[in-house]
Structure 1
């Protein structure tokens, strides 16, 4: 989920914790638990700072180690080590339990996004992405905001957020069923599909679709369970040519390939350099595919420039690269 949603989830969980008699009976415990749930709902995304270095490091590592099983165990201990000295009268066990719940829920809800997490590390580096909830879901965010306002205006937080979470669980189930309906429709159109990726959008009844069979890639969308195929590409295996192999050694392309499960590729030859481009097919937006990796190589196959990330026009992409082909 996005940062804002994780913040309101932390506040809501702190309110829900008042149902715990130990928390409700101690001001120090209640205050430290609220701080712990807010911090716990944020700390797995500390790897966002990697974006300050470059996109390749961010793409390869975001929602990786910081969302792993060891991290889920260690983050609450780190938070408690910082918070508890200011609230020595707090119940340490209950502070840990609710902080752990905040960290666990953060990682758990991220699994439902299309981006996913590597939550099974160190046992598996596989990305777990159920693709049911958009990274920012306005309905989930609004429900939390309503709950927080009710708390501010005097509603009992425990009961308020218990009802709120019951509604959200029902919403998750509804989204899961909606995705399955779209999947059934896609299989009617592409019965021999070997893989189908369905990604949510901010709109409840709209989904992005990327699918493949042995011969083709298909890109489409679903609106109110009606599936429309927007683009179709011949599925050409990536060749083991010297140009491609040299490009794969670039950190930007390597990061792209570690993250993207469905893509097409292009190689262009100019007067004094080659350009290799890999295009993720999951994020079609207004006829454009914004998530790409581009590597430019000189005639000796040495890298000149490269980029990976989201870019929404060819002009902006060229600005991120040092060479503009004539």
Structure 2
């Protein structure tokens, strides 16, 4: 989810904490737990600081180790110990419980969009992405935003927030059913499809689709259960040549490959250099595929520069390659 949604969910989790009589009857503890759930709901996204280093590090680690099982344990222990030291030293168990809830809920809801997380590390490095909810879902955001004033003013926060979470569970069930219908719609049109990648849009009736058969990738959209194919690409394996071997050792390419399950490639020759482009098919705009990895070579197979990330024009891409 986006930062704003995680924030308002931190408030409503703090509201849920007041369901305990021990918390409800202690205003100082109530405020301390609210601060705990707000901080805990943001901690897993602390890897955003990697953007200051470079895109490759950010893409490789965002929602990776910081959303893993060891990280959830680490965030929980660190936050609960700090909050206990600065507040009620005799309530460590309560802080431990709500720190764990806040961090775990953050990781859990991140599983439901198309980006996903590596939540099973260290047991598995597989990206888990259910593709049910858009990264920003207006309904979920507004639902929790409604609960914020009740939490801030301590007015029936517990009952209100538990009602909000019940609504959210039913909403997730509804969106899961919608995804099953979407996938069946794709198979009805492309019965030979082996893999279907679903990316929900901000509108719950609109989905970005990539369907792969043994021979082709099909990129399209579903609107109101109508499936339209926009692009068709023949599946061609990357050639085993020196340029490709060199590219696969590049940090930007390795980060792209770790994140992108479905892509096409282009090898473009210029007068003084060549470019290998890897293009993720899951993020099509009206005219462009913005998530790429690009490696620029000289004709002796040496890498001149490389880039991975979101780019929306050829001019900006070339500028990035010059900068790198």
Q: Assess if the C-alpha contact under 8 Å between 1:26 and 1:90 holds in 2.
A: no
TM superposition shift of 1:99? 1.1
TM superposition shift of 1:105? 0.5
Return the alpha-carbon distance in structure 2 between the equivalents of residues 125 and 103 of structure 1: 20
Partner of 2:23: 23
CA change 1:90–1:36 in 2 (3 A) is farther
Unpaired runs of 5+ in structure 2?
A: none
Q: Assess if the C-alpha contact under 8 Å between 1:32 and 1:90 holds in 2.
A: no
Return the alpha-carbon distance in structure 2 between the equivalents of residues 18 and 6 of structure 1: 19
TM-score by length of 2: 0.97
Q: Secondary structure at the match of 2:7?
A: helix
Q: Assess if the C-alpha contact under 8 Å between 2:276 and 2:295 holds in 1.
A: yes
Return the alpha-carbon distance in structure 2 between the equivalents of residues 95 and 30 of structure 1: 11
Q: Secondary structure at the match of 2:322?
A: coil
Q: Secondary structure at the match of 2:304?
A: strand
TM superposition shift of 1:152? 4.6
Q: Secondary structure at the match of 1:304?
A: strand
Partner of 2:122: 122
Return the alpha-carbon distance in structure 1 between the equivalents of residues 88 and 165 of structure 2: 31
Q: Secondary structure at the match of 1:261?
A: coil
Return the alpha-carbon distance in structure 2 between the equivalents of residues 71 and 248 of structure 1: 29
TM-score by length of 1: 0.96
Q: Assess if the C-alpha contact under 8 Å between 1:14 and 1:38 holds in 2.
A: yes
Q: Assess if the C-alpha contact under 8 Å between 1:29 and 1:90 holds in 2.
A: no
TM superposition shift of 1:81? 2.4
- For residues 72-100 of structure 1, what are the alpha-carbon distances to aligned partners after superposition, in whole Å with 9 as ceiling and x for unaligned? 11211111222222213552111111111
Partner of 1:2: 2
Return the alpha-carbon distance in structure 2 between the equivalents of residues 195 and 276 of structure 1: 25
Partner of 1:234: 234
The 5 A counterparts of 1:87-166 are 87-88=87-88, 91-152=91-152, 155-166=155-166
Partner of 2:45: 45
Return the alpha-carbon distance in structure 1 between the equivalents of residues 135 and 210 of structure 2: 18
CA change 1:29–1:155 in 2 (3 A) is closer
TM superposition shift of 1:26? 2.2
Unpaired runs of 5+ in structure 1?
A: none
Return the alpha-carbon distance in structure 2 between the equivalents of residues 88 and 184 of structure 1: 53
Moved more, 225-234 or 25-34: 25-34
Q: Secondary structure at the match of 1:31?
A: helix
CA change 1:79–1:152 in 2 (3 A) is closer
- For residues 145-188 of structure 1, what are the alpha-carbon distances to aligned partners after superposition, in whole Å with 9 as ceiling and x for unaligned? 11213445664100111111111111111111111101000001
- Is 1:208 matched with 2:208? yes
Return the alpha-carbon distance in structure 1 between the equivalents of residues 158 and 222 of structure 2: 38
Moved more, 157-166 or 24-33: 24-33
Equivalent residues, number: 323
- For residues 125-147 of structure 1, what are the alpha-carbon distances to aligned partners after superposition, in whole Å with 9 as ceiling and x for unaligned? 00000010111111110111112
- Is 1:35 matched with 2:35? yes
Partner of 1:247: 247
The 5 A counterparts of 1:182-201 are 182-201=182-201
Q: Assess if the C-alpha contact under 8 Å between 1:132 and 1:199 holds in 2.
A: yes
Q: Which runs of 4+ in 1 moved over 2 A?
A: 25-29, 149-155
Q: Secondary structure at the match of 1:278?
A: strand
TM superposition shift of 1:29? 2.4
Partner of 2:309: 309
Return the alpha-carbon distance in structure 2 between the equivalents of residues 158 and 246 of structure 1: 57
- For residues 222-241 of structure 1, what are the alpha-carbon distances to aligned partners after superposition, in whole Å with 9 as ceiling and x for unaligned? 11111111100111111111
Q: Assess if the C-alpha contact under 8 Å between 2:84 and 2:91 holds in 1.
A: no
